[in-house]
Amino acid sequence: MSTNTIDNKRKVTTLRLGEMKARGEKIAMLTAYDYSMARLVDQAGMDVILVGDSASNVMAGNTTTLPMTLDQMIYHAQCVTKGVERALVVCDMPFGSYQGNSKQALASSIRIMKESNAEAVKLEGGSEIAESVSRILSAGIPVMGHLGLTPQSINKFGTYAVRARQEAEARKLIEDAKLLEELGCFAIVLEKIPAELAERVTKMLDIPTIGIGAGSGTDGQVLVLQDMLGINREFTPKFLRRYADLGTTITNAVGNYINDVKTGDFPNADEQY
Ligand code: KIV
């Protein structure tokens, strides 16, 4: 049962997320990539569902998010929006669909909105992508920012370690957060940065921050669904809390099915016509 009892039936909008921050209500966000899971996550009372490009890792088995294409993101977002009634659905813009070319960024975001029914897009980066963010916003498309560890830049970072521990990087992150708010982003994801810095940025901004590996001082939290459900068992970072061990549940269930088929126990007399 969801513990979120405030306005539980009312559709979540970008405006409502701002209201939630203003009254101190934490924002819950999870990823989803398909209809069945999105439906369950929405029915549990989730505020925001992110069609993350982490689909590249947990759905497609890639080691980075870079191979994800615009068509693939639109496909996942189409599946998710069909299962969602209440949550705000945000779709990641994939690597190569917005960096360095704001006209292409606008065209990519319009395709996402038109073809998938998602309600907002998320882009990674700060000042480097300011022109793309502005152009997308000028078309009336809500933008969620993403700072700190930005997995599409893994080849530049060379590591998935905590970001902005050093003064210079922390300062740039603060400036980028202010810039994204000024440009008109409705929220910012802060990934894998020191908790103290995340709290400082959160207090500085009027728009909500959503943390992942960024401590408890942000306005909300996000996790990858497969990670928190224990389906993606190999991924065990410090920040991850597992809420279920579905990996074991699924392998046990599948093992029992195999056994029943092999022994002739399934189907029984009641399970046939
Ligand atoms: O792609 C994703 O799942 C994300 C979250 C980790 C924030 O960007």
Taking only the tens place, the pLDDT of each residue in 181-202 is 999 999 999 999 999 999 999 9
| Ligand 1 atom 4: residue of nearest CA | 52
The reported pLDDT for the residue numbered 2 is 47
The percentage of residues in the chain with a pLDDT greater than 70, rounded to a whole number, is 97
Rounded mean pLDDT, 1-5: 48
What's the CA gap between 271 and 267, in Å, rounded? Answer: 5
What's the CA gap between 193 and 210, in Å, rounded? Answer: 12
Which atom of ligand 1 is closest in space to residue 223's alpha carbon? 6
At 82, is the secondary structure helix, strand, or coil? helix
The one catalytic residue among 25, 119, 124, 191: 191
What's the CA gap between 81 and 87, in Å, rounded? Answer: 9
**Mean of the per-residue pLDDT values of the chain:** 96
Which atom of ligand 1 is closest in space to residue 210's alpha carbon? 7
Taking only the tens place, the pLDDT of each residue in 215-245 is 999 999 999 999 999 999 999 999 999 999 9
Length of the chain: 273
Give residue 208's identity as a one-letter amino acid code.
Answer: P
What's the CA gap between 51 and 184, in Å, rounded? Answer: 21
More confident of the two residues 251 and 6: 251
What's the CA gap between 100 and 102, in Å, rounded? Answer: 7
Both tokens of 93, joined, read: 């813009």
User: For ligand 1, which residues put their CB under 6 angstroms from it?
Assistant: 31, 50, 52-54, 92, 189, 191, 212, 222, 224
At 199, is the secondary structure helix, strand, or coil? helix
Taking only the tens place, the pLDDT of each residue in 127-185 is 999 999 999 999 999 999 999 999 999 999 999 999 999 999 999 999 999 999 999 99
182 given a catalytic annotation: no
Strand partners, 29: 48, 222
| Ligand 1 atom 5: residue of nearest CA | 52
Rounded mean pLDDT, 80-86: 98
Nearest 10 degrees: Cα torsion 16, 20, 23, 24: -170
Element (H, E) at 250: helix 246-263
What's the CA gap between 87 and 230, in Å, rounded? Answer: 23
Longest dimension (CA), the chain: 70
Is 109's pLDDT higher than 60?
yes
- Model pTM score: 0.96
